[in-house]
A and B are shown apart, each in its own frame.
Chain A
Amino acid sequence: QKEVEQNSGPLSVPEGAIASLNCTYSDRGSQSFFWYRQYSGKSPELIMSIYSNGDKEDGRFTAQLNKASQYVSLLIRDSQPSDSATYLCAGPLPCFYGNNRLAFGKGNQVVVIP
Chain B
Amino acid sequence: ETGVTQTPRHLVMGMTNKKSLKCEQHLGHNAMYWYKQSAKKPLELMFVYSLEERVENNSVPSRFSPECPNSSHLFLHLHTLQPEDSALYLCASSQDSGLAGGGHNEQFFGPGTRLTVL
A and B co-occur in one complex: no
Interface residues of A (CB under 8 A from B): none
